[in-house]
């Protein structure tokens, strides 16, 4: 699974609605280990499966963002409920590097998920933890943080997003980026195996 790499906006897999995972095998554990490795390498605190071009309801979080510090948490098939309050803060995303924007979200939520051992767990979370969980759960639904910004706020980063779109199209033209058909075929193979 060492071939997994972070994909960047506007890669179509970032808009893919992920399917629940029905089976955890040794390869999926390797995928999770690789996701943590990539997350630390790119200095993030959370990474969703879509961001490594996988169609699975899975994300990892370590709020410390450092290997050997903080707690490594794996969320499989997460469900968010009971939102309370609202809070606004700046967010970024490893798939849109160096771009930041203000996003308003519920201050606290309840989350239910499974860990890599297949055990169900649930937490009431708030603060940065709640924000990270909501940001990553959005990824699994094909939602990116700019989608959650106000139109006025998003206008301020539109030039930067346009640069990402231009870069993506140019990589497509040179063939260094697979076409939609190849991407869909690969996603379907992973869905057949895990979902």
Residue nearest to Zn ion (CB): 93
User: How far is the C-alpha of 93 from the C-alpha of 96, rounded, in Å?
Assistant: 5
Please say whether the beta carbons of 31 and 170 come within 8 A: no
**Closer residue to Zn ion, CB minimum distance, 24 or 57:** 57
Active site residue 136: yes
Query: Which entry of 3, 41, 72, 136 is annotated as an active-site residue?
Result: 136
Min dist CB 104 to Zn ion, Å, is 16
Residues found near Zn ion in the complex (CB under 5 A): 93
Q: Which long-range contacts (CB under 8 A, 24 or more apart) does 146-154 make?
A: 146/96, 146/99, 146/101, 148/103, 148/104, 148/105, 149/101, 149/102, 149/103, 150/102, 153/101, 153/102, 154/101
**Closer residue to Zn ion, CB minimum distance, 49 or 187:** 49
Min dist CB 95 to Zn ion, Å, is 6
Min dist CB 145 to Zn ion, Å, is 6
**Closer residue to Zn ion, CB minimum distance, 6 or 76:** 6
List, by residue number, the catalytic residues. Answer: 136
């Amino acid at each position: 699974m060492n071939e997994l790499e972070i994909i960047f906006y506007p890669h179509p897999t970032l808009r893919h609605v992920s399917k629940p995972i029905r089976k955890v095998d040794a390869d999926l554990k390797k995928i999770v280990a690789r996701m943590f490795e990539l997350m630390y390498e790119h200095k993030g605190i959370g990474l969703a499966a879509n961001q490594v071009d996988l169609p699975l309801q899975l994300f990892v979080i370590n709020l410390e963002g450092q290997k050997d510090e903080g707690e490594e948490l794996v969320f499989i098939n997460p469900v968010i409920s009971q939102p309370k309050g609202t809070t606004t803060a700046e967010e970024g995303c490893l798939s849109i590097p160096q771009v930041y924007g203000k996003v308003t979200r519920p201050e606290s939520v309840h989350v239910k998920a499974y860990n890599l051992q297949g055990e169900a767990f649930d937490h009431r979370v708030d603060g940065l933890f709640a924000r990270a969980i909501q940001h990553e759960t959005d990824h699994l639904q094909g939602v990116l943080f700019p989608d959650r910004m106000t139109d006025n706020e998003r206008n301020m980063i539109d030039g930067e997003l346009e640069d990402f779109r231009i870069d993506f199209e140019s990589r497509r033209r040179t063939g260094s980026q697979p076409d939609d058909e190849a991407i869909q075929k690969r996603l379907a193979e992973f869905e057949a195996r895990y979902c």
